[in-house]
Every structure is written in structure tokens, then in C-alpha cells.
Amino acid sequence: MKLFDRTNFYYIVFSVIIYVLVGASFYLVVEHVIYQEVEQRLKVERRDFENFVRAHGVWDESCYFVENKIELTALADTLVPVTEFKDTLLYNRYNNEYVPFREYSFVSHVGGAPHKVTIRKSLIESRTLLKSITGIMMAVLSLGLLVLFLFQRRIARRIWAPFYQTLSRAKSFDLNEGKGLTLTPEEIFEFNELNSVLNKVTDKIARDYTSLKEFTENASHEIQTPLALINSRVEELIQQRNFSDEQMRWIQDIYQSALRLSKLHQALLLLSKIEHGQFFEWETINLTEAMANKLEEFEEIFTHKTIKVQFTKTGAFNVQMHPVLADVLITNLLSNAVKHNHAQGIIDIVGTGHTLRVSNTGSALTTSPERLFERFKKQNQSSSSLGLGLAIVKKICESYHLAIQYSFDEGMHTLTISSPTAGE
């Protein structure tokens, strides 16, 4: 629910309640005032009546021509209680309808005998007045509420505009640009605070990110350069002939360790670059097709290791990925399947529209399957492999929201990469 919708909702609920309450209480108050007024006048008429009776001794109906205006009823028993004021409906013979009246009853002695005297006053004018006053009042009130509603909506839009601007700027914040948001100061204190906090935070993020990126790049440069020197010096050294076999072995060890160090370093750099999301560009890559191409490159090694490869493709598995990472992903999957295979083994690859499955024959794991994707977890600790291949595969999958699963069944290790929409 949007902020405006929420405030509008509350406003509407609140104003409807207010409207009903104000309407009802206004009606009641006006009605009360009118009754007071009518009763006041009825009391005045009672005094006029009593004065008349006192002066003339009798009540002369004829001086009041209005029908039912004053009615006298002889009372046998004066102890019967008489209701003072009450509402009643009387028939109007011209309009053929009942008309509301207020009547005032009291006991009076006319001609020596007790009579119940009832004086009535028509309420029709007062009713009309009450209705129209209330109607006008309600119309004015609703107009006021409507205007207020429109006004506050407009004001809210204007007031919140900087907030929405900040929001859209924050949404389009791109780390890769290397600088934080530059939000302009606002007049409203809270928004100003928000902007300056966002400026500060994004600035820090951008700076940290840049320095991290620089660090990885520098580390890469600073470490690879001495390694390059070691390698080239060793290559020069082996051009000499006057070394004993033992010395030659030492040189070889140095050479291979330096190479290994360099590869290890590159693999770790790759991992940290993936982790820090330094691969921004992406394109649509069909993993099934990429696998088919990679298989050609690996053909020689399959022949060499007498591994039989079965490849079934039933669809294009399209993902949005950095092309280099896609290549690393496929290569690592395949070399893993080759590395942990045995002679005359089988690699079975199935590519569907949303999964890529690589199975290979091989002996059962000695470590637990959960630790398979951890760094430096090698089946055989002394092997020459770096132990980073699957860690990299997992990192790539994670950063592109692909699921990766391992299973072992009937001597086949299976790694399945699937898109999150698989099975829908």
C-alpha cells in the first residue's frame, strides 16, 4: 500500500465518522432548541387561556377558529395524571395527511368543573426548518471535507515529492560508478536529514567498494609481478646445463610451486571478485550450447582418459551471465567430472530448458557431501588440484541465483544446476 493511499484511507474513514457524528448531534441540538421554543410558546398560551377563563368564567371555543387548537375534556377524576408535553399526529383535512403537533396538557377549572386542557401547536414549519438547516449544514460540511481532502492530497504530494525523488535516486544507485549519491539539501528538516544520511552512507559504501576493488587489483598486480620474475628467472636458469640432477629437481620444485601459487592466487582473486560482485556486465548465455562447445575442447582429454561422454540436450538453458564466468562455470564442471573419474568412466550430461546436469562415474566421497563446495576441500589432499573448482562453481551459481545440487547414486556423482523457475 502506498503512503498516499494509506493516509487517504485514514482520512476518509476519519471524516466519515466525523460527518455522521456532527450530523447527528447537530440534528439533535437543533431539534431540542425548536422544542424548547415551541414549549415556551405553549406555556405563554396557557397563561392567555387561564387569563381568559378567569375574566369570562367560561371558555369560548369560537374565538379560536383553528381546528383542534385548544381542546377541553371534562375530567371525572382529577387524580388521573396528565402528561405535560407530547408529540402527536393530527389529520389535516385539506392535505389528507397527518401533520406533527406538539401538545401541552394541563388540568384547569372551567366553569367550576375540572377540565383537561390540551393546547397544540403544529410542528410542520419547525420540522421543515430543521430538515433544511441540517441539510444545508451537511452539504457545507461534506463540501468542506472534500475540499480539505483534495487540499491535503495536493499538499502531501508536494511535501513528499523530495522523498520520492530521493527514493528513485537511491533505487538507481550504481556502485560501479564509484561515488555515492549527491542528493541536494531539502527545506524540510527530516528529508534533509534523510538525504544527508543517505549521502554519507552511499559515499562510504562507494569508497569502501572502490578501495576493495583497488586492493584486489593491486594485490593481483603486486603478487603476480614477483611471481612473473621468479618464473622467468627459473626459465632462464634451466637453460644452463651445469646443474646436477638434484639441483635440477629443486629448480623444478621452485618453478612448479611458483606456478601453483600464481594459479591459486588467480583462483582466489576470481572468487573474491565474484563475491564482491565485480562482474557487472551480463549477456544471455545458453548454458546447454556453451556446454556443447566446451565438450569439443575437452574431446582430446576424454579420448586420452578413455572417458565416454553422453550428451543429451532437450532445450536451451538461457541465463543472464557474464560470459567469462559462464565459461569458468562450464569448464570447472567438466574438469571436475574428468578429475574425479576413472579410466573407462562415463560422463553423462543432460541439458534441458532450465537445468544442466553433469554426472560422472567415480569412487564415493570420503568427505561429507555438504563440504563438497567448501574451499580447499579436496578428495585427495595430496593431489595437484587447487581444490577451488567447485567453490568457484558454487559462488557463480549463488551470484546468479541458480541452484546447485549434488547427489551420489549407483556410483554416479551428479551435479545439477537449475534455474529458480524450474519446476514451475
Partner 1 sequence: MKVLVVEDEMGLAESIAAHLTKDGFITETVFNYESALEKISLYTYDCVVVDINLPDGIGFDIVETLKKIKASSGIIIISARHALEDKIKSLDIGSDDYLTKPFHLSELNARVKSLLRRRHFGGSNEISFQEIRVNYISRKVFVGETEVTLSKKEYDLLLYFMSNIEVALTKPAMAEHLWGDNIDSADSFDMLYSHIKNLRKKLTDKGSKDYIHSIYGIGYKFGKN
Minimum CB separation of residue 199 from partner 1 in Å reads: 29
Site size toward partner 1 (CB under 8 A) is 43
Which range touches partner 1 (CB under 8 A), out of 152-160, 260-268, 355-363, 414-422? 260-268
Minimum CB separation of residue 262 from partner 1 in Å reads: 5
Q: Look at residues 296, 286, 230 and name the one whose alpha carbon lies nearest to residue 259.
A: 230
Contacting residue, 131, 233, 308, 401, with partner 1 by CB under 8 A? 233
Q: Look at residues 352, 312, 357 and name the one whose alpha carbon lies nearest to residue 333.
A: 357
Question: Sign of the CA dihedral 296, 299, 302, 308?
Answer: positive
Which range touches partner 1 (CB under 8 A), out of 43-51, 83-91, 128-136, 226-234? 226-234
What are 377-385's contacts with CB under 8 Å, separation 24+? 379/340, 384/260, 385/339
Q: Is 338 in the site for partner 1 (CB under 8 A)?
A: yes
Q: Is 256 in the site for partner 1 (CB under 8 A)?
A: yes
Which range touches partner 1 (CB under 8 A), out of 39-47, 144-152, 163-171, 299-307? 299-307
Contact, 46 vs 107, CB < 8 A?
A: no
Site for partner 1 in 199-218 (CB under 8 A): 217
Minimum CB separation of residue 384 from partner 1 in Å reads: 6
Taking the C-alpha atoms of residue 286 and residue 330, their distance in angstroms, rounded to an integer, is 11
Minimum CB separation of residue 327 from partner 1 in Å reads: 9
Q: Is 385 in the site for partner 1 (CB under 8 A)?
A: yes
Q: Is 292 in the site for partner 1 (CB under 8 A)?
A: no
Q: Is 367 in the site for partner 1 (CB under 8 A)?
A: no
Give residue 361's identity as a one-letter amino acid code: T
Minimum CB separation of residue 238 from partner 1 in Å reads: 5
Q: Which is nearer to partner 1, 51 or 257 (CB)?
A: 257
Contacting residue, 179, 204, 249, 308, with partner 1 by CB under 8 A? 249
DSSP state of 378: -
Contacting residue, 301, 344, 401, 405, with partner 1 by CB under 8 A? 301
Taking the C-alpha atoms of residue 298 and residue 240, their distance in angstroms, rounded to an integer, is 36
Taking the C-alpha atoms of residue 260 and residue 266, their distance in angstroms, rounded to an integer, is 10
Q: Is 272 in the site for partner 1 (CB under 8 A)?
A: no
Length of the chain: 424
The cell numbers describing 154, all together, are 495536493
The torsion region of residue 87 among left (phi > 0), alpha (psi -120 to 50) and beta comes to: beta
Q: Which is nearer to partner 1, 92 or 224 (CB)?
A: 224
Minimum CB separation of residue 243 from partner 1 in Å reads: 10
All residues at 6 or more sequence positions from 231 whose CB lies less than 8 Å from its CB, including other chains:
255, 258, 259, 262
